[in-house]
């Protein structure tokens, strides 16, 4: 299944559009018995009436309810975050930037969380408040495909003047709700916005099919997780079993180790040296000789005798809090896999989840560490992130990258973003100023 946004033959004729506009004016004026309203599709007419009774204004941009870090945190934790790659593949195949449509994914409250697609169209839809974090629920902006689809719990198509808000009249949209595959509760909505082509029969089939595919993939993922969790945990030396461990090293000088055991969740902070050791063992799961681990932690020429007392101290720390992660010797290795937030970012990049990966990137790996192995891994992650930004990231992801420390002073990144921006974008002036400043400082 792949989207093909060709011109639609399903658009209403001009006479119908004018009739809808006049009926809309009568409803806004409170003339609910006007005969022209009876010629408007029942689905639209009933939505208009709900909007009017909710005192929704016929003009004006929607309220922005999620912004900045709050939006990033909410998106990262939302159930549909893991489905974004699938949604892109099904609705934005090929080059999303000139696809001719805008794809939006929102939560069950109608707040838009992701906006992707044609860069030129997005620069225009931004003007009506069709942006991430804005509330497009029916009781907030009136009749729209995403808001009305959530209200009715079914896929909906809204053409031009059928929108309640006059600012949205130039656009058409098709949306379908996404439900939890087991509880059937609403999780969110998938919407495509653009010209007449997005309200064709094919468009509705594609959006409906995408929503069902997302639900199926979520169910499969849950079944896999349950199968994994039913396996017996790796026993530790003390007889307790550590089910899961994760090492947080991004943007932190003292790593945070989180473990889930039969006694509950435990969290400890590791010293810089212990953090370097645990990170190297997490990255090199096959194990490391004493000589190689010493080299990675202390540098070339250091003696393994320097490492051994540090390993004794590390084992004592882990004995009190994370027995299942006490390193084994000959070679040094962890008895069970240890996840790291840095490796999670690399995995997201490999899967094409660029936006989620950028959100999950909290800064350099153990930024103050001078251990050669940490420095190498830090640079590997930084280079991988930058390479993806150049080769595959969409404009909005590239602009977000330009705001984090790694991208703020990267003139090449700023120039690429400037090339991708529409000619009349208000963001161009700020980028030009930043580029000129960097060139002057060089």
- What pTM did the predictor assign? 0.53
* 143 plus 263 within the same structural domain: no
> Does a structural domain hold residue 331?
yes
**Which among 196, 226, 256 is the end of a domain?**
226
> Does a structural domain hold residue 30?
no
C-alpha 120/C-alpha 164 separation (Å) is 24
**Can you give the pLDDT at residue 133?**
93
Tell me, what CATH number does 291's domain have? 1.10.10.10
> Does a structural domain hold residue 44?
no
* 321 plus 254 within the same structural domain: yes
* 220 plus 268 within the same structural domain: no
Q: Tokens for 272? A: 């810089």
* 258 plus 407 within the same structural domain: no
**How many folded domains does the chain comprise?**
3
> Does a structural domain hold residue 142?
yes
Tell me, what CATH number does 100's domain have? 3.30.450.40
Burial of 315 (0-12, 13-18, 19+ CB in 10 A): middle
C-alpha 413/C-alpha 398 separation (Å) is 8
* 340 plus 277 within the same structural domain: yes
* 214 plus 346 within the same structural domain: no
109-118 confidence digits (pLDDT tens): 999 999 999 8
46 contacts: CB under 8 Å, gap ≥ 6: none
C-alpha 254/C-alpha 270 separation (Å) is 6
Domain residue limits at 411: 394-442
* 132 plus 181 within the same structural domain: yes
Average pLDDT per block of 10 residues along the chain, 442 residues long: 47 64 87 87 94 91 88 92 90 74 95 92 88 94 96 95 93 95 93 92 90 88 71 48 75 86 73 94 93 94 92 90 85 90 86 76 93 95 91 81 88 90 87 90 81
* 216 plus 130 within the same structural domain: yes
Query: Strand 241-248 and strand 339-340: pairing?
Result: parallel
**Which among 337, 358, 382 is the end of a domain?**
382
**Can you give the pLDDT at residue 1?**
46
* 176 plus 287 within the same structural domain: no
**Can you give the pLDDT at residue 13?**
44
* 283 plus 378 within the same structural domain: yes
* 378 plus 262 within the same structural domain: yes
Question: What is the H or E stretch that residue 178 is in?
Answer: strand 172-179
**10 Å Cβ neighbour count for 429?**
9
* 306 plus 217 within the same structural domain: no
Q: Rounded to whole angstroms, what are the CA distances from 28 to 12, 36, 59, 130?
A: 22, 13, 11, 22
C-alpha 59/C-alpha 285 separation (Å) is 58
The closest of 442, 361, 349, 342 to 400, measured between CA atoms, is: 361
- Sequential DSSP letters for 21-45: HHHHHHHHTT-TT-GGGGGS-HHHH
């Amino acid at each position: 299944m792949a989207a093909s946004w060709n011109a639609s033959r399903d658009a209403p004729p001009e006479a119908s559009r004018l009739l809808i506009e006049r009926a809309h004016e009568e409803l806004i004026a409170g003339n609910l018995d006007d005969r022209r309203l009876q010629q408007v599709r029942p689905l639209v007419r009933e939505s208009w009436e709900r909007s009017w009774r909710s005192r929704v204004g016929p003009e004006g941009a929607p309220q922005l309810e999620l912004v900045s870090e709050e939006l990033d945190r909410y998106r990262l934790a939302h159930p549909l975050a893991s489905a974004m790659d699938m949604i892109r593949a099904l609705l934005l195949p090929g080059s999303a930037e000139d696809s001719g449509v805008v794809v939006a994914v929102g939560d069950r409250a109608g707040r838009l969380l992701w906006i992707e697609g044609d860069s030129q169209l997005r620069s225009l839809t931004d003007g009506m408040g069709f942006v991430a974090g804005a509330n497009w629920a029916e009781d907030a902006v009136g009749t729209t495909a995403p808001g009305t689809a959530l209200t009715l719990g079914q896929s909906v198509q809204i053409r031009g003047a059928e929108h309640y808000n006059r600012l949205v009249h130039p656009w058409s949209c098709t949306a379908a709700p996404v439900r939890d595959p087991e509880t059937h509760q609403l999780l969110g909505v998938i919407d495509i916005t653009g010209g007449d082509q997005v309200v064709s029969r094919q468009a509705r089939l594609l959006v409906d099919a995408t929503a069902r595919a997302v639900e199926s993939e979520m169910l499969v993922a849950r079944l896999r997780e349950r199968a994994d969790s039913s396996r017996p945990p790796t026993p530790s030396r003390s007889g307790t079993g550590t089910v899961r461990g994760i090492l947080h090293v991004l943007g932190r000088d003292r790593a945070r180790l989180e473990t889930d055991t039969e006694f509950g969740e435990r969290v400890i902070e590791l010293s810089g040296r212990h953090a370097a050791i645990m990170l190297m063992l997490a990255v090199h799961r096959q194990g490391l000789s004493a000589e190689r681990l010493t080299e990675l932690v202390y540098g070339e020429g250091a003696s393994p005798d320097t490492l051994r007392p540090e390993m004794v101290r590390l084992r004592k720390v882990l004995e009190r809090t994370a027995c299942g992660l006490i390193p084994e010797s000959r070679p040094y290795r962890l008895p069970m896999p240890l996840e790291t937030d840095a490796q999670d970012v690399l995995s997201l990049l490999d899967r094409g989840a660029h936006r989620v990966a950028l959100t999950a990137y909290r800064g350099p790996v153990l930024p103050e560490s001078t251990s050669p192995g940490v420095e190498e891994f830090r640079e590997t992650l930084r280079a991988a992130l930058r390479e993806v930004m150049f080769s595959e990231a969409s404009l909005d992801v590239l602009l977000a990258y330009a705001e984090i420390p790694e991208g703020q002073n990267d003139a090449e990144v700023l120039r690429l973003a400037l090339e991708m921006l529409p000619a009349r974008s208000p963001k161009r002036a700020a980028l030009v100023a930043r580029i000129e400043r960097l060139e002057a400082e060089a």
